[in-house]
Chain A
Amino acid sequence: MTSKLTTSNRAGWGFALPGFALIATFIVLPFIFAFWLSLTNQRLISPNPTEFVGLDNYRSLLSIDVLSIEPERDAAGALVRDDDGALSYPAVRGFTRNNPDYPQYAGMREWFRWHWGDTAKVVIATDVIFWKALANTLTFVLVVAPVQGALALGLALLINQRLRGINFYRAVYFMPVVVSIVVVSLLWRFIYDGEDGLLNNLLSALTFGAFTGMDWLGNPDTALGSIMAMSIWQAVGFHMVIWLSGLQTISPTLYEASAIEGASKWQTFRYVTWPGLRNTAVLVVIVITMQAFALFAQIDVMTNGGPLDSTQTVVFQAVERGYGKQDISGGSTISVILFVLVLTISLIQRWLAREKT
């Protein structure tokens, strides 16, 4: 079996070789290293020899369990209620710390809980911060990917017109992309400032003083949302340009034909523009997803993962552990898990977007 790739294609391989070499050296090789390191106890700096520890790192990162806690009862067996009528539950630390009756829960901490009748179901994990980081990262991806993609398409449609000075608008929308993300993050820290930030002043002026200020990055409920809004704004211009290139590949004759047929604006978009953007859409969604999973700089500059872990992310934790806490094996383990996750999601996206024949 010979294919076009292997027969008489020396020039093609020659052209591809530098690219392959670079990818192998800087992406494939480091990944193999990371995978190997995740099976050891490698430290960033240490005189102790590196030991093979098997899947220990994965176990301590991923161990998760559900603990059922019965509410406290008094001597008569009646449920103890406080003044508001709420049930009282024994502390989780009573089960997870120095309790020989529950050796399987040793060292675990509460992530979140829900109630099933009177019983509290508490999800406990060995590495709560990692799970929080994972949940935050997935939330970030789920919000940013569709919103940023749609906004970028909207902007691309707006600037895909023959108007005087349209290049000015293209440049304005693209500007945040060329500014360093670290600088953008610093500036947005001032915008979000809880006391006299630009956003608070603006909202206060718009509501004639009814809005009294909000500590956007200091409040666990708004911190991640604030970072999402800022990230969407920062990179939307980049994806706008990709959409724009897609729009300009659509033949004008199709538009002329639909105009002659009397199609409305929506019909033109639905049956001419959107089918023509199919491949662009796949590209944009996959690129945004991968970029969103790599969320790091904004966190590092703006919140350091806080307040109360509300902005922890997977990549931030990988760096924090590998360099901050000198635990290269822990950082590598997170990287490998992230790789598997992103690969899986990209494959699913490819499969969903496949050409159906």
Chain B
Amino acid sequence: MNRRILLAATLATTAGFAGTASAQTALSMWYHGAGGEVEGAIIRQIVDDFNASQSDYVVSLESFPQESYNDSIVAAALAGNLPDIVDVDGPVMPNWAWAGYLRPLDIDESLIENFLPGTKGYWNGELYSVGLWDAAVALYARQSTLEALGLRTPTLEEPWTKEEFMAALDAAKESGDFEYPLDLGMAWTGEWYPYAFSPFLQSFGGDIVDRETYQTAEGVLNGDAALEFGEWWQSLFADGYAPGTSQDPADRDAGFIDGKYAFSWNGNWAAVNTIEGGVDDVVFLPAPDFGNGSVIGAASWQFGVSAASEHPEGAAAFIEFALQDKYLAAFTDGIGLIPSTPTAAEMTETYKEGGPLNVFFALSEEQALVRPVTPGYVVAAKVFEKALADIANGADVADTLDAAADEINADIERNGGYGHQ
């Protein structure tokens, strides 16, 4: 733990006891997790601890349901009453930073040296947000299924190739034991599509936009690698490997546990439920390597300071305070997220060395690639989601990817290049 903070905290506490005559500055904070009991308790604990630890600032917390959180921030920004401390989804951060909602985060960067790369929100060379946790996706399978089908267990060093992956799906299909070999989670519309599926495209060698310049999607979203990805993606549904866009959400949640699916492409947040649901031999396999390495998505919710804040130093102090390992571990133990530091991981039951979910920490460290870091991502993600749904439903691959690339390019142009230099 950083001694400077502890010292500052101790001093602040002593000062607080010595004399509370000086007025405290009120800071407001918005959080996306309303309704989550455990999550709410942890974040309130951090706020209470911070308020008790010093006498300069009092943070007050307001929680919003996740579905309406982004809309609330946009509305607040337009109305001119953003809170001091905001919580922002990693891939959305550049959009808000570009729009002038966020200010660069002025914290001691040595504090986040050991943080997982996906938890640090950089845009245009400056740090804007930091996450107390990350999320990772893996291919869920039962050890018993792998053995029954005679499949090699893939490892981080040697993941399945595309051929091995498709052979595994074929074996599961031929066994006749499953409704579908693979569950991709098509029922989860929204950010799940770009988060979970764009890494497949990246592993094929394509991407949503060209990360060199962020000025075009031409050639990356509709190039040869992308076409190959698109054909493969369509075959998953056309050949009956995976349920399509009309998948029942209940099947998404329980289908793997009930044995309807042999493999499930799912996030670390579902791991505890799967184990508790009775799948005690579940293994979390790394993403297949489609030619350009195994890739999974990175970046979850993070904290930043709003541009409207009159006391950014207080807001930054709160964020520094929240970055303590014990809070990272609390979120992990409470709701199963991946702690941002190895030291915090060691403090948890599930992610410590040898723990059942430790593999996710390794996945996050080795394979994670953040979604395109550009303000235009918000629109590109929507376009990408629709293209993937259409291809899954049988639309022409080349036409669909062309149209998606055109729409993303038109949007970039209408926004004057989104401020990339």
Binding site for B on A (CB under 8 A): 41, 43-48, 91-93, 97, 107, 109-110, 128, 193-195, 215, 217-218, 220, 304-309, 320, 323-327
Determine the distance from Cα of A323 to Cα of B382 in the docked complex, in whole angstroms.
11
- Inter-chain contacts of B389 with A (CB < 8 A): 304, 306-307
A109's contact among B77, B399, B416, B419, by CB below 8 Å, is which? Answer: B399
Determine the distance from Cα of A305 to Cα of B387 in the docked complex, in whole angstroms.
12
CB distance from B53 to the nearest CB of A (A): 35
Report which residue of A46, A193, A217, A304 has the largest number of chain B beta carbons within 10 angstroms of its beta carbon: A46
- Inter-chain contacts of B383 with A (CB < 8 A): 325
CB distance from A99 to the nearest CB of B (A): 13
Q: Is the CB of A45 within 8 A of B74?
A: yes
Report which residue of A44, A45, A97, A195 has the largest number of chain B beta carbons within 10 angstroms of its beta carbon: A45
Determine the distance from Cα of A41 to Cα of B402 in the docked complex, in whole angstroms.
24
Any A CB within 8 A of the CB of B95: yes
Determine the distance from Cα of A109 to Cα of B398 in the docked complex, in whole angstroms.
12
- Helix, strand, loop or mixed for chain B's interface? helix
- Inter-chain contacts of B402 with A (CB < 8 A): 93, 97
**23 A-B residue pairs with CB within 8 Å:** A41-B414, A43-B415, A45-B74, A45-B78, A45-B99, A47-B99, A47-B419, A48-B415, A93-B399, A107-B410, A128-B403, A215-B246, A304-B189, A304-B389, A305-B386, A306-B390, A306-B393, A307-B390, A309-B390, A324-B382, A325-B411, A327-B379, A327-B411
- Inter-chain contacts of A308 with B (CB < 8 A): 390, 393-395
Any A CB within 8 A of the CB of B245: yes
Contact with A along B20-64 (1 / 0, CB 8 A): 000000000000000000000000000000000000000000000
Known: A47-B419, A109-B399, A109-B403. A218 touches B99 (CB 8 A): no
Determine the distance from Cα of A183 to Cα of B419 in the docked complex, in whole angstroms.
42
- Inter-chain contacts of B406 with A (CB < 8 A): 107
Determine the distance from Cα of A97 to Cα of B218 in the docked complex, in whole angstroms.
11
Known: A109-B403, A218-B246. A47 touches B393 (CB 8 A): no
- Helix, strand, loop or mixed for chain A's interface? loop
- Inter-chain contacts of A41 with B (CB < 8 A): 414
Contact with A along B157-188 (1 / 0, CB 8 A): 00000000000000000000000000000000
CB distance from B184 to the nearest CB of A (A): 15
Q: Is the CB of A326 within 8 A of B379?
A: yes
Any A CB within 8 A of the CB of B365: no
Any A CB within 8 A of the CB of B98: yes
Closest residue of chain B to A60 (Cβ to Cβ) is B410
Determine the distance from Cα of A323 to Cα of B95 in the docked complex, in whole angstroms.
14
Within 8 A of A (CB), among B348-391: 378-379, 382-383, 386, 389-390
Closest residue of chain A to B405 (Cβ to Cβ) is A97
Determine the distance from Cα of A110 to Cα of B398 in the docked complex, in whole angstroms.
13
Q: Is the CB of A217 within 8 A of B246?
A: yes
6 closest A-B pairs by CB:
A218-B246, A307-B393, A45-B99, A325-B379, A308-B393, A215-B246
